[in-house]
Each structure stands twice: as structure tokens, then as C-alpha cells.
Structure 1
């Protein structure tokens, strides 16, 4: 979704099943305090991927109003935190472990 919406990860965190049209042709992202919630057309190449994410979300014991991607983002953050020491030196002013909370 980031590839065709140019949205930040924060917008993905609040994306719900309810924000995707039935035919997976459009998706609404949420801005801060819902002041700016743009609607994006989903390109043909991305529809099967988004449909799969929606199907996976529906198979979990979560209501449609819950975020589709927040659990995945949390799991990825845990993975990054666990392996932060393995990240190459990137010339950052902070240690690699500081990249994830």
C-alpha cells in the first residue's frame, strides 16, 4: 500500500477492513484526528495482495473495526528489536537498537 498511496506507516496502522471497498478497488486511509482521510484507487497489481490481507484479517478473531495491519506492524517491530544488533553499521548517530521502540 505504501507503494501506491505514498502514505506513512502511521496511516497504515489505522486501516480497517471497513476502509476497503468490497471489490478491493479503493482504500481509505486515515489522517490525524480524521482531518484528512484520502481515498486511493488500488492498482490492479495490488488488489490480490490487499484481498489476501483482508482475508487473513477476517480469519482472525478480530472485529472488522480493528486495524488490519497493526498486529503485523507490532510483530515486525518485535522482530526488528530482537535482531537490532545484527543490523549493519549505517553511520547513524544512534545505535541500531534505537530504531525500534
Structure 2
């Protein structure tokens, strides 16, 4: 187990996702630029994103871009939960649990 500060959080999440071909990202808010900040434009065997689409704080064009990752051959699934508050970045090998949404503020971009 390791504690991360805001500078190390994004770097660690990017590295973790970069090594994986399957991931689940559960964050309440999904902001503009999150796909590129997280390094998600690559081939995925499976990518699941759960966010709170009803909150109005998720960027709709960014969510559309997540779904367009299917064009890279990925099995992409986007779901919504209006009660969601947690922040989880999960692969087969690692887990980051914290308070960072997939947004410029949360990822300190």
C-alpha cells in the first residue's frame, strides 16, 4: 500500500492504465480532457466507466469520446449512478482509491 499526493496521483494512475488492457474507472465527475490526461486513447480489451451523468458535472462531449474509444477496437461500457461519489481506478494488477475525479481539478491537470 502507498499513499499518493496530488502530484503523484495522476502519474501513478496514467502508468497503471498504460500497462493494462482492461480497466474499470468509477468516478462521479468526468471532465473535459480526462481521456487524454489518463492516457486512454489506446487499444483496450475492456474499459468500463461509471460516473454520475445526472449531476450535470460530467462533460457530455468527453463521455461521447469515451464511447468512441470503441473505434480503437475496445469493448467500452459507460454506466451512470446518480448516487455515486467514490473514486476508483482499477486494473487486474493495481487499484487507486481516493478522492480524484476524472477532471482537471481532480487530476491536478
Query: Which of the five TM-score ranges fits, normalised by the shorter chain?
Result: under 0.3
TM-score between the two structures when normalised by the length of structure 2: 0.23
More strand by share: 2
Structure of larger gyration radius: 1
TM-score between the two structures when normalised by the length of structure 1: 0.24
More helix by share: 1
Larger RCO: Structure 1 or Structure 2 (Cα < 8 Å, ≥ 6 residues apart)? 2
